Each structure stands twice: as structure tokens, then as C-alpha cells.
């Protein structure tokens, strides 16, 4: 009978991750939403405004997309928590939710 050999692992265990499983699921949803080029453009346009917000009506001509298409993209981004909206009369103004962008920056850093 051979003497027992100590078990040697090839690698030390990893340290704890920076995000939880729930956070990873939420962030993956946001990254999927941003996987659409038009949505990235919308996010960029909104972020570039000095006021930090933009009326949905201003985005249609700028992107060269139809109004229903722009509205759909804005709705998807709103539902993902990337945008906040405020109705003013018949118009809806959108602004970026800075906490969500901060979460994306953190996970990418």
C-alpha cells in the first residue's frame, strides 16, 4: 500500500466576484438592450445634450428613423432602466438614469 499523497490543486480558488448573480442578470439585460446600434446612438444623443434631456420629437429626424421606431427604442431603454421620462403636454422628454450608467462603468472597469 502506498502512502497517501497530499492533493495538490493546480490553481488557488478565485476571490469573490465583483457582482452577484442577480446583478449579472440585470446588467446582461442592459447590455442586450444596448446591443442595438440605434439605441447606442440614442443614448449618445441624449447624453450629449447640455440640458441632459431631449424631447422624443427631436430624435426622429436626427436619426433618420421613423417615429414609431424611435419610440420603440426609447420604450425598450426606459423599461430596462436606462432612461427616465417626463411628459410635458403632448411631448415626452427623456434623460439618462446616471446610476445605471454608473453600474455599467463599474462592471467594465
52 pLDDT higher than 70: yes
Asked, for residue 42, whether it belongs to a domain, the answer is: yes
Q: What pLDDT shows up at residue 3?
A: 63
Q: Which of 68, 76, 67 is nearest to 40 (CA)?
A: 76
Best mean pLDDT range from 10-14, 26-30, 85-89, 102-106:
85-89
Asked, for residue 60, whether it belongs to a domain, the answer is: yes
Asked, for residue 76, whether it belongs to a domain, the answer is: yes
Q: Which domain holds residue 34?
A: 23-108
The predicted model gives 35-52 an average pLDDT of 93
Asked, for residue 16, whether it belongs to a domain, the answer is: no
When the pLDDT of each residue in the chain is averaged and rounded to a whole number, the result is 87
Stated as kind and residue range, the H or E segment containing 96 is strand 91-96
Asked, for residue 11, whether it belongs to a domain, the answer is: no
Q: What pLDDT shows up at residue 12?
A: 65
* Total tally of structural domains belonging to the chain: 1
User: In the structure, what pLDDT confidence band is assigned to residue 8 with cuts at 50, 70 and 90?
Assistant: low
User: Is the pLDDT higher at 40 or at 7?
Assistant: 40
Q: What pLDDT shows up at residue 54?
A: 94
Q: What pLDDT shows up at residue 81?
A: 93
Write the DSSP string, 69-94: HHHHHHHHHHHTTSEEEEEETTEEEE
Asked, for residue 10, whether it belongs to a domain, the answer is: no
Asked, for residue 78, whether it belongs to a domain, the answer is: yes
CATH number, position 99: 1.10.10.10
Asked, for residue 50, whether it belongs to a domain, the answer is: yes
Amino acid at each position: 500500500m502506498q502512502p497517501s499523497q497530499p492533493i495538490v490543486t493546480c490553481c488557488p480558488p478565485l476571490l469573490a466576484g465583483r457582482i452577484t448573480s442577480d446583478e449579472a442578470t440585470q446588467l446582461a439585460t442592459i447590455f442586450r438592450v444596448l446591443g442595438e446600434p440605434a439605441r447606442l446612438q440614442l443614448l449618445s444623443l441624449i447624453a450629449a445634450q447640455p440640458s441632459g434631456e431631449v424631447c422624443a420629437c427631436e430624435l426622429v429626424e436626427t436619426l433618420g428613423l421613423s417615429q414609431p421606431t424611435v419610440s420603440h427604442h426609447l420604450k425598450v431603454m426606459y423599461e430596462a432602466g436606462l432612461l427616465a421620462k417626463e411628459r410635458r403636454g403632448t411631448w415626452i422628454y427623456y434623460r439618462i438614469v446616471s446610476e445605471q450608467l454608473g453600474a455599467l462603468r463599474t462592471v467594465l472597469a
